[in-house]
Chain A
Amino acid sequence: MDRSKPKNASEGIAPMGITTINDIADSNQPESRYECPVCLNWLRDPVITTCGHKFCNSCITSWLQNSGHCPIDNINLSMKVDIFPDNYTKREIQQQRMSCPFADKGCTLKVTPLDLDAHIAACEYNQPETSNQIDIKIPCSFQAVGCKETFKSQEEMNAHLHNETQSHMSYILNAYSEMKINNDMNASIDPKEQEAMILWEPDKNEGQNPAPPITNMGTLIRALYERVVVLEQRNREQDIVIANISKQLSAFAVAKNKQNQDMLLRYCMGNYVWRIDNFQARLDAMLKDHYKMLYSPGFYTSPNGYRFCVRLNISPQNPLCFALHVHLMKTEYDDCLEWPFNGRISFAMINQYEPELSQRDTMMSNSSLIAFRKPTTEICVRGFGYTEYAVVSNVVKNGFVKEDCLIVRVHIKCV
Chain B
Amino acid sequence: MANIAAKRIKREFKEVMKSEEVAGGAIKLELVDNSWTELQGTIAGPPDTPYEGGTFLLEIKVPETYPFNPPKIRFITKIWHPNVSSVTGAICLDILKDQWAAALTLRTVLLSIQALLSAAEPNDPQDAVVAKQYRDNLFLFNLTARHWTNVYAGGPSNITDFNDMVQRLLDMGVEEHQARVALSTYDWELERATEQLFS
Contact = CB atoms under 8 A, between A and B. Distances in A.
Contact of A72 (B8, B55, B68, B101): B101
Contacts of A53: 103
A59 interface: yes
Closest 7 CB pairs of A and B: A6-B154, A71-B102, A37-B103, A17-B31, A71-B103, A71-B101, A38-B102
8 contacts: A6-B152, A16-B31, A21-B13, A25-B14, A38-B103, A39-B8, A71-B102, A71-B103
Interface of B: 4, 7-8, 10-15, 17, 28, 30-31, 34, 40, 42, 54-55, 57, 67-69, 77, 99, 101-105, 151-154, 158, 163, 166
Contact of A40 (B8, B34, B99, B101): B8
Interface string A31-63: 000000111110000000000010000010011
Contact of B10 (A16, A22, A63): A22
A186 interface: no
Interface of A: 1, 3, 5-7, 9-10, 12-13, 16-18, 20-22, 25-26, 29, 37-41, 53, 59, 62-63, 65-67, 69-72, 74
Nearest to B5: A39
Given A9-B57, A10-B55, A66-B68, A21 B101 contact: no
A40 B17 contact: no
Contacts, number: 87
A22 B14 CA distance: 10
B105 to A, nearest CB: 8
Contacts of A66: 68-69
Contact of B55 (A6, A59, A63): A6
Contacts of B68: 38, 62-63, 65-66
Nearest to A41: B7
Given A6-B55, A16-B30, A59 B102 contact: yes
A69 to B, nearest CB: 7
Contacts of A38: 8, 67-68, 102-103
A72 B108 CA distance: 12
A396 B28 CA distance: 99
B38 to A, nearest CB: 12
Contacts of A3: 151-152, 154
